[in-house]
Amino acid sequence: MLARLSICIRAFTCAAAATCAALSFAANASSDLPRESRVPGGVALINVGRADEPKPTVTRDGASVWTVKRADAWVAVVGIPLAATPGEQTLNVTRDGIAATVPFTVKEKRYPVQHVTLKDNAMVEPPADVIARIERESAHLKTVRSTWREDAATSAAFTLPAKGRLSGRFGGSRVLNGKPRAPHAGLDVAIGTGTPVVSPSDGVILDAGDYYFCGKTMFIDHGNGLLSMFCHLSEHTAKVGERVAKGQAVARSGATGRASGPHLHWTVYLNGVSVEPELFFAAKQ
Ligand SMILES: [Zn+2]
């Protein structure tokens, strides 16, 4: 038993695929996993052990990581933060009470700068009387983002939640009314107010609220730390706690919160960090 474990842990730190021949695997062979892109804001599919061994517990930066059996391996589906520094990152993997560190390399990616003009400057430089509200909402949204629900049926084979021109891509650093702001953590779809918005995959409605920046907002929990967030909605049509199927309408689009016009903003979270939604489509949109 000890010998087998030591082989396994040694394999974790194995950098060259050829030397891991004993643990051959097909991490990205399954169509219900996202496409891999080891860049800030991307997703890494990391082999964390042989499928005939017990399921390991995997965390990154303290957050649980979706780990799924594929072919002859356990695969960790890891969201990489947009703010990650390119270079070596690590996963913490525990099996049978033994902890190991699995390194993986994140490559640099330069996202374009996006300039956006907002008529309401209070959305760029919030007045003092809304700061307490923003802080309260920020704490609440952080709790929502860190939700963890085990689900054996989680599927990352997403459908676009609304059909329309992709008007704002993920990851671009944002300049709002000339002021540098956080990068764009989602995908924008240009659709008119009142257009039905559908769930990209099966899930449970996790949260529905009205927040200062995001406006009317809905979170869907797809299981195992994979979440969708919709912002700037005009209406919630599904209720918190309701199970929804892929393609089922859950809300209507709008322009509430910090929006330059009607559109859907969609963020995909994985292990608590926002990642590129387009990796969850079988082919690039
Ligand atoms: Zn957006």
pLDDT digits (tens, 9 = 90+) for 77-135: 999 999 999 999 999 999 999 999 999 999 999 998 888 787 777 777 888 889 999 99
If one counts the domains in the chain, the total is: 2
**Is pLDDT at 11 greater than 90 in this prediction?**
no
Percent of the chain surpassing pLDDT 90: 74
CA 164 to chain CA centroid, Å, is 21
Q: Output DSSP code: residue 171.
A: T
Can you give the pLDDT at residue 112? 87
Q: Which pLDDT tens digit goes with each residue over 196-215?
A: 999 999 999 999 999 999 99
Q: How far is the CA of 186 from the centre of ligand 1 (A)?
A: 5
**Is pLDDT at 13 greater than 60 in this prediction?**
no
Tell me which of 66-70, 89-93, 179-183 is least confident: 179-183
Same domain, 128 and 257: yes
Percent of the chain surpassing pLDDT 70: 88
Residue 239 belongs to a domain: yes
Same domain, 48 and 122: no
Can you give the pLDDT at residue 176? 80
Q: How far is the CA of 5 from the centre of ligand 1 (A)?
A: 45
> For residue 92, what are the domain limits?
2-106
Q: Which CATH number does the domain housing residue 48 bear?
A: 2.60.40.1590
**Which of 45, 77, 106 corresponds to the end of one domain?**
106
Please compute the mean of the pLDDT values over residues 51-80 and round it to a whole number. 96
| pLDDT class of 283 with cuts at 50, 70, 90 | low
| pLDDT class of 26 with cuts at 50, 70, 90 | very low
Same domain, 141 and 200: yes
Q: How far is the CA of 120 from the centre of ligand 1 (A)?
A: 16
Please compute the mean of the pLDDT values over residues 137-152 and round it to a whole number. 96
Q: How far is the CA of 189 from the centre of ligand 1 (A)?
A: 8
Q: How far is the CA of 266 from the centre of ligand 1 (A)?
A: 7
Residues contacting 266, CB < 8 A, separation 6+: 161, 186, 187, 188, 189, 200, 228, 229, 230, 231, 277
Q: Which pLDDT tens digit goes with each residue over 211-227?
A: 999 999 999 999 999 99
Mean pLDDT of the chain, nearest integer: 87
Same domain, 218 and 137: yes
| Residue at token pair 């769930």 | 199
Q: How far is the CA of 133 from the centre of ligand 1 (A)?
A: 21
Q: Calculate the alpha carbon distances from 237 to 62, 123, 150, 203, 205 in Å.
A: 34, 26, 25, 15, 11
**Is pLDDT at 12 greater than 70 in this prediction?**
no
Residue 285 belongs to a domain: no
Q: Calculate the alpha carbon distances from 13 to 9, 36, 54, 117, 139 in Å.
A: 7, 20, 19, 47, 36
Tell me which of 59-68, 146-155, 172-181, 225-234 is least confident: 172-181
Token readout for 123 is: 């959305």
Same domain, 95 and 131: no
**Which of 72, 106, 140 corresponds to the end of one domain?**
106
Residue 237 belongs to a domain: yes
Same domain, 227 and 122: yes
Q: How far is the CA of 184 from the centre of ligand 1 (A)?
A: 6
Q: How far is the CA of 193 from the centre of ligand 1 (A)?
A: 15
Q: How far is the CA of 188 from the centre of ligand 1 (A)?
A: 5
- The model's pTM is 0.86
Q: How far is the CA of 18 from the centre of ligand 1 (A)?
A: 42
Q: Which CATH number does the domain housing residue 132 bear?
A: 2.70.70.10
Q: Which pLDDT tens digit goes with each residue over 248-275?
A: 999 999 999 988 899 999 999 999 999 9
Same domain, 159 and 49: no
